[in-house]
Amino acid sequence: MDKSCDGIVLIDKNEGETSFDVVRRVRKFLKIKKVGHAGTLDPFATGLLIVLLGQGTKLSPYLMSREKKYRATLRLGIETDTQDPTGHVLRKRPVPAFDLETIKEHALGFIGEAEQSPPIFSALRYRGKRAYEFARKGIKPDLKKRKVTIRSLEILSADLPDVTMEVTCSSGTYIRSLATDLGEKLGPGAHLNALRRLSIGPFSLQNALNSEKVGLDRPENVLQDRIIPLRDAIPHLKEVQVDDQLAHKIRNGYQPQWEALRGRCPLQEVLEGQIKLVEGGALVAIMKVQQQMGHDSAGLEILRVFH
């Protein structure tokens, strides 16, 4: 495989296509086998989709765990079984003439850490299957609540029955559940009517290629020019440079001890967490560092190796 195809590419997914539709087209036009994505967008949703290329597929957990930002529109007065516009209507209720300030006041209560109930129509695992497989058969899976963090929630407009908001949240947050919960708090209920993902971690929709262009004739150069290399795809990890000899050994299974890195990275700068080992401009590995109490050393564990 051409190493220039290892990395990630930012795509602005359009409404009506699945995340896999985008992956399939990228795979076809770049002519590489290993292509994936970090964070599914439902067909009705649009916005930032990080497509993983070649060895970039190893970066999925490091990208999916990043904070995300969305613009979402909920429709008050209508509840659906999927909590989005694709489902069957369960209930309709009249929508009071809310003013913008009233909606903002109610929305403030969702900022911070909370436990959220995932949608039953989701891809979460339940008894060995996807939750939506049970939901489609009329069986309600008993999904455990999960801790999520809403860092910010700004109500942009209220063109009733539609309310548009921007949400910055932790990984694992379901905006469909947030829309449902806000609708219940306001009274008439709601479902998520539109969703657009604006960012994932440091990566913004402003730098993404519209998915329509991936389907044009001979888009290879357009895609190739937009590939973000492995090293730059995880800018949140501290970088430690290693020489070519150590890089070669690590790529062949060597597990370095702290002494091998001591002069390259002071222990107090790392403490605990993950770092990336880089040789020149190439990503060599992602390593877990755990400081050992009472010792001027650290326990190291190679998590991913990149060739």
Query: In angstroms, rounded to a whole number, what is the distance separating the alpha carbons of residues 101 and 96?
Result: 14
Together in a domain, 254 and 219? no
Model confidence pLDDT, tens digit, residues 107-165: 999 999 999 988 877 667 767 777 777 767 777 777 788 899 999 999 999 999 999 99
Q: Are residues 94 and 148 in the same domain?
A: yes
Task: Compute the distance between CA of residue 52 and CA of residue 206 in angstroms, rounded to an integer.
Answer: 18
Which amino acid is present at 120?
A: I
Q: What pLDDT, in 10s, does the model give residues 168-184?
A: 999 999 999 999 999 99
Domain with 145, as residue range(s), is 68-200
**CATH code for the domain of 280:** 2.30.130.10
**Do 188 and 75 belong to one domain?**
yes
**Which among 232, 224, 225 has a CA at the least distance from the CA of 282?**
232
What secondary structure does DSSP assign to 271-304, as a single string?
SSEEEEEEETTEEEEEEEEEEPTTSS-EEEEEEE
How far does Cα 54 stand from its chain's mean position?
A: 18
Residues 226 and 176 in one domain: no
Query: Looking at residue 205, what DSSP letter applies?
Result: G
224 and 279 in a common domain: no
Same domain, 259 and 222: no
Q: Which of 85-94, 114-123, 210-219 has the lowest mean pLDDT?
A: 210-219
* pTM of the full structure: 0.90
Helix (H, G, I), strand (E, B) or coil at 244: helix
Check whether residue 109 and residue 210 sit in a common domain: no
Say which CATH number the domain at 220 has.
3.30.2350.10
Q: Write out the catalytic residue numbers.
A: 42
How many domains, in total, are found in the chain? 3
Higher-pLDDT residue of 275 and 123 is 275
Q: H or E segment at 255?
A: none
Q: Give the least confident one: 57-71, 161-175, 279-293.
A: 279-293
> Of the residues 200, 220, 254, which one is the last residue of a structural domain?
200
In this structure, are 160 and 79 located in the same domain?
A: yes
* Kind of pairing between the strands at 146-159 and 35-38: unpaired
Q: pLDDT tens-digit profile of 6-37?
A: 999 999 999 999 999 999 999 988 889 999 99
User: If you average pLDDT over each of 153-162, 268-277, 297-306, which comes out highest?
Assistant: 153-162
Pairing of strands 273-279, 238-241: parallel
- pLDDT at residue number 264: 65
